[in-house]
Amino acid sequence: MAQVKSYRYAVVDVFTAEPLAGNPLAVFPGASEFDETTMQKIARELNLAETAFVLPATREDCVARVRIFTPAKELAFAGHPTIGTAFVLFQEETISRNSSEFSLGEEVGPIPIRIEGGQRPLIFSDVCAGIRRSRGSGDRKLNRTFGSFHDAPPLYLESWGHLTKLESRSWFNSFR
Protein backbone atom coordinates (compact mmCIF):
# COMPACT_ATOMS: atom_id res chain seq x y z
CA MET A 1 0.00 0.00 0.00
CA ALA A 2 1.29 3.44 -0.86
CA GLN A 3 1.79 5.85 2.02
CA VAL A 4 -1.40 7.79 2.64
CA LYS A 5 -1.00 11.38 3.66
CA SER A 6 -3.63 13.85 4.66
CA TYR A 7 -3.72 17.52 3.63
CA ARG A 8 -5.92 19.96 5.37
CA TYR A 9 -7.90 22.56 3.49
CA ALA A 10 -10.57 25.07 4.30
CA VAL A 11 -13.51 26.04 2.16
CA VAL A 12 -14.55 29.59 2.78
CA ASP A 13 -17.62 31.32 1.37
CA VAL A 14 -16.41 34.70 0.23
CA PHE A 15 -18.51 37.88 -0.01
CA THR A 16 -21.13 36.73 2.44
CA ALA A 17 -21.85 36.45 6.15
CA GLU A 18 -24.08 33.42 5.59
CA PRO A 19 -22.86 29.86 5.03
CA LEU A 20 -23.68 28.18 1.69
CA ALA A 21 -23.90 31.59 0.02
CA GLY A 22 -21.36 33.85 -1.68
CA ASN A 23 -18.50 32.41 -3.72
CA PRO A 24 -16.87 29.28 -2.29
CA LEU A 25 -13.08 29.00 -2.31
CA ALA A 26 -10.80 26.16 -1.20
CA VAL A 27 -7.59 27.16 0.59
CA PHE A 28 -4.70 24.82 1.40
CA PRO A 29 -2.84 26.67 4.18
CA GLY A 30 0.25 24.44 3.89
CA ALA A 31 0.85 23.59 0.25
CA SER A 32 4.64 23.54 0.05
CA GLU A 33 4.72 19.82 -0.83
CA PHE A 34 2.61 20.25 -3.96
CA ASP A 35 4.06 20.75 -7.41
CA GLU A 36 2.17 22.69 -10.05
CA THR A 37 0.65 19.59 -11.66
CA THR A 38 -0.71 18.45 -8.30
CA MET A 39 -2.17 21.87 -7.55
CA GLN A 40 -3.95 21.81 -10.90
CA LYS A 41 -5.28 18.30 -10.25
CA ILE A 42 -6.56 19.27 -6.81
CA ALA A 43 -8.28 22.39 -8.20
CA ARG A 44 -9.96 20.25 -10.83
CA GLU A 45 -10.94 17.64 -8.24
CA LEU A 46 -12.55 20.19 -5.91
CA ASN A 47 -14.22 21.87 -8.90
CA LEU A 48 -14.80 25.22 -7.19
CA ALA A 49 -14.35 28.45 -9.14
CA GLU A 50 -10.86 28.69 -7.60
CA THR A 51 -8.56 26.85 -5.19
CA ALA A 52 -5.71 28.74 -3.47
CA PHE A 53 -2.44 27.22 -2.28
CA VAL A 54 -0.41 28.98 0.43
CA LEU A 55 3.37 28.63 0.20
CA PRO A 56 6.23 30.21 2.16
CA ALA A 57 6.87 33.81 1.13
CA THR A 58 9.43 34.29 -1.62
CA ARG A 59 9.84 38.04 -1.04
CA GLU A 60 10.37 40.11 2.08
CA ASP A 61 7.40 42.41 1.59
CA CYS A 62 4.90 39.50 1.59
CA VAL A 63 3.73 37.25 4.44
CA ALA A 64 3.11 34.30 2.12
CA ARG A 65 3.09 33.25 -1.49
CA VAL A 66 -0.33 32.30 -2.91
CA ARG A 67 -0.97 30.39 -6.11
CA ILE A 68 -4.51 30.37 -7.48
CA PHE A 69 -5.97 27.72 -9.78
CA THR A 70 -9.32 27.34 -11.51
CA PRO A 71 -10.30 23.78 -12.50
CA ALA A 72 -8.67 24.55 -15.88
CA LYS A 73 -5.62 26.77 -15.29
CA GLU A 74 -3.54 28.94 -12.99
CA LEU A 75 -4.43 32.61 -12.53
CA ALA A 76 -1.78 35.26 -11.93
CA PHE A 77 -4.21 37.18 -9.74
CA ALA A 78 -7.86 36.96 -8.71
CA GLY A 79 -10.09 38.94 -6.37
CA HIS A 80 -12.19 36.50 -4.36
CA PRO A 81 -9.31 34.03 -3.80
CA THR A 82 -7.20 36.88 -2.41
CA ILE A 83 -9.89 37.87 0.08
CA GLY A 84 -10.70 34.27 1.01
CA THR A 85 -7.05 33.28 1.49
CA ALA A 86 -6.41 36.32 3.68
CA PHE A 87 -9.46 35.38 5.74
CA VAL A 88 -8.25 31.82 6.28
CA LEU A 89 -4.71 32.92 7.20
CA PHE A 90 -6.19 35.41 9.65
CA GLN A 91 -8.52 32.80 11.18
CA GLU A 92 -5.70 30.27 11.40
CA GLU A 93 -3.51 32.94 13.00
CA THR A 94 -0.82 32.32 10.39
CA ILE A 95 -1.10 36.07 10.25
CA SER A 96 -1.13 37.67 13.68
CA ARG A 97 -4.53 38.83 14.86
CA ASN A 98 -2.93 42.19 15.54
CA SER A 99 -1.74 42.80 12.02
CA SER A 100 -4.09 44.95 10.03
CA GLU A 101 -2.06 45.43 6.87
CA PHE A 102 0.09 42.97 4.97
CA SER A 103 0.69 41.71 1.44
CA LEU A 104 0.18 38.33 -0.22
CA GLY A 105 2.62 37.37 -2.97
CA GLU A 106 0.60 36.28 -5.96
CA GLU A 107 2.12 35.39 -9.33
CA VAL A 108 1.48 38.94 -10.53
CA GLY A 109 3.25 40.52 -7.52
CA PRO A 110 2.41 41.66 -3.98
CA ILE A 111 -1.30 42.33 -3.31
CA PRO A 112 -1.92 44.66 -0.34
CA ILE A 113 -4.55 43.51 2.16
CA ARG A 114 -6.18 45.47 4.97
CA ILE A 115 -8.17 43.82 7.74
CA GLU A 116 -10.67 45.49 10.02
CA GLY A 117 -10.79 43.13 12.97
CA GLY A 118 -13.69 42.30 15.21
CA GLN A 119 -16.20 39.51 15.61
CA ARG A 120 -16.55 39.30 11.85
CA PRO A 121 -13.36 40.62 10.34
CA LEU A 122 -13.78 42.67 7.18
CA ILE A 123 -11.09 42.13 4.59
CA PHE A 124 -10.13 44.61 1.91
CA SER A 125 -7.79 43.85 -0.95
CA ASP A 126 -6.27 46.40 -3.31
CA VAL A 127 -7.57 44.78 -6.46
CA CYS A 128 -6.23 47.61 -8.58
CA ALA A 129 -2.69 46.69 -7.52
CA GLY A 130 -3.30 43.31 -9.07
CA ILE A 131 -4.82 44.80 -12.17
CA ARG A 132 -2.03 47.35 -12.62
CA ARG A 133 0.58 44.66 -12.21
CA SER A 134 -1.06 42.25 -14.60
CA ARG A 135 -1.20 45.03 -17.15
CA GLY A 136 2.52 45.58 -16.70
CA SER A 137 3.28 41.87 -16.79
CA GLY A 138 1.68 41.57 -20.21
CA ASP A 139 -0.93 39.08 -19.07
CA ARG A 140 -3.25 40.01 -21.91
CA LYS A 141 -6.10 37.84 -20.77
CA LEU A 142 -6.21 39.50 -17.38
CA ASN A 143 -5.99 42.90 -19.05
CA ARG A 144 -9.01 42.09 -21.13
CA THR A 145 -10.97 40.79 -18.16
CA PHE A 146 -10.36 43.87 -16.09
CA GLY A 147 -10.13 46.31 -18.99
CA SER A 148 -13.03 48.36 -17.76
CA PHE A 149 -11.12 49.29 -14.60
CA HIS A 150 -8.42 50.89 -16.72
CA ASP A 151 -8.20 54.26 -15.02
CA ALA A 152 -10.40 53.63 -12.02
CA PRO A 153 -9.34 54.72 -8.55
CA PRO A 154 -8.25 51.93 -6.15
CA LEU A 155 -11.09 49.46 -5.84
CA TYR A 156 -11.77 47.52 -2.67
CA LEU A 157 -13.67 44.33 -2.31
CA GLU A 158 -15.21 43.53 1.03
CA SER A 159 -16.07 40.26 2.68
CA TRP A 160 -17.55 38.75 5.73
CA GLY A 161 -16.13 35.37 4.97
CA HIS A 162 -17.60 32.31 6.54
CA LEU A 163 -15.63 29.11 6.99
CA THR A 164 -17.89 26.22 6.12
CA LYS A 165 -15.36 23.42 6.14
CA LEU A 166 -12.59 24.44 8.50
CA GLU A 167 -11.86 20.83 9.36
CA SER A 168 -11.84 19.47 5.84
CA ARG A 169 -9.15 16.97 5.13
CA SER A 170 -8.12 15.28 1.96
CA TRP A 171 -5.72 12.48 1.42
CA PHE A 172 -4.34 11.46 -1.85
CA ASN A 173 -2.12 8.42 -2.06
CA SER A 174 -1.07 9.07 -5.61
CA PHE A 175 -0.53 12.24 -7.55
CA ARG A 176 0.36 10.61 -10.85
Partner 1 sequence: MPVLQYVHLNVFANQPFTGNQLAVFLDAEGIDEKRMQRIANEMAFPETTFVFPPEVSGTDARVRIFTPSQELPMAGSPTVGTTFALAGGGRLRAGADKTVLGLGIGPTIVGLEWGQNGLRFAWMKQPIPTFGPIVTDTVAVAAALGIQPRDLAGGNLPVQVVSSGVPFLYVALNSRAAVDAAAVDRAKLCALLRALDLEELPVFVFSPEPADDGATVYSRMFAPVLGIPEDPGTGSACGPLGAYLLKYKAVSAKIASRLVSLQGVRMGRPSRIHIALSSRAGVLEEVQVGGEAVVVGEGTIRA
The residues that are catalytic are: 50
Nearer to partner 1 by C-beta: 52 or 62? Answer: 52
Residue 47 Cβ vs partner 1, minimum distance, rounded to whole Å: 5
Paired with 47 in beta bridges are: none
Among the residues of the chain, which ranges form H helices? 36-46, 79-91, 127-137, 140-145
Distance CA 8, CA 12 (A): 13
> Binding residues for partner 1, per CB under 8 A?
11, 13, 19-20, 24, 41-42, 44-48, 163-175
Nearer to partner 1 by C-beta: 137 or 170? Answer: 170
Residue 157 Cβ vs partner 1, minimum distance, rounded to whole Å: 20
Nearer to partner 1 by C-beta: 24 or 84? Answer: 24
